[in-house]
Amino acid sequence: MGFRDLLKRSVKKALGREGKANGGSSSSGGRASLPPGAVAWDKDITPTRHGQVVADGVGVAIFRIDGGLLAIDNACTHEDGPLAEGECKDGVVTCPYHDWRFDVKTGQCLSHANRQVGCWDVEVREGAVYVTGQRTKASPERGGAHDDGMAVLTRNLDEEGT
Ligand code: FES
């Protein structure tokens, strides 16, 4: 056995895959693949660890609130900050970029009127999470005042054809 074989065997052993095919589940720490159409495992989304997934080509943030799952657009309507990376408390997520706040249940922006994010329907089947459709649409506006007083260029995504 050469050095490369020894190295490969050590890596496989460390990954718990010795004697098993790549992918799929194993009894030694491997994970099952998600079923077709699923975006996450239910158990992986916790009150402090949000889901950041893609559904219908759109970024969606999934939150566990009061034991259930709720989903909104991941892109903040200020400057597209990733809401799944924000802190969520009492059903309100705070954007990690400039602190705009959104009600996860309704999508309403609590920092600036008429700047709601879209809401999505989610289902859990056999432990897997599915995003099943968009319930409400986001404001197409972007930009506006930062809460620190700095103004940024406002634009309308609909007029830009995006
Ligand atoms: S990008 Fe979300 S508050 Fe600025």
CA distance 158 to 125: 35
**pLDDT at residue 162 in the model:** 55
Q: Atom 4 in ligand 1: which residue has the minimum CA distance?
A: 98
Q: Answer yes or no: is the C-beta of 102 below 6 A from any ligand 1 atom.
A: no
Q: Answer yes or no: is the C-beta of 95 below 6 A from any ligand 1 atom.
A: yes
Q: Answer yes or no: is the C-beta of 100 below 6 A from any ligand 1 atom.
A: yes
Q: Answer yes or no: is the C-beta of 78 below 6 A from any ligand 1 atom.
A: yes
Query: Is 10 exposed, middle or buried, given 0-12, 13-18 or 19+ CB atoms closer than 10 A?
Result: exposed
Residues 6+ apart with CB under 8 A from 152: 79, 143, 144, 145, 146
Averaged confidence pLDDT in the chain: 82
Q: For residues 51, 56, 59 and 60, what is the CA-based torsion angle, rounded to 10 degrees? A: -40
3-state class of 15 per DSSP?
Answer: helix
User: What average pLDDT does this structure show over 110-134?
Assistant: 96
For the ranges 111-115, 134-138, 143-147, 150-154, the lowest mean pLDDT is seen at 150-154
CA distance 52 to 61: 5
Give all domains of the chain, ordered by start, each with its CATH number: 1-33 (no CATH), 34-156 (2.102.10.10)
Ligand 1 atom nearest to CA at 79: 1
**pLDDT at residue 144 in the model:** 80
Q: Which residue has the tokens 């050469």?
A: 2
CA distance 101 to 119: 15
**pLDDT at residue 41 in the model:** 97
Q: For residues 64, 65, 68 and 70, what is the CA-based torsion angle, rounded to 10 degrees? A: -70
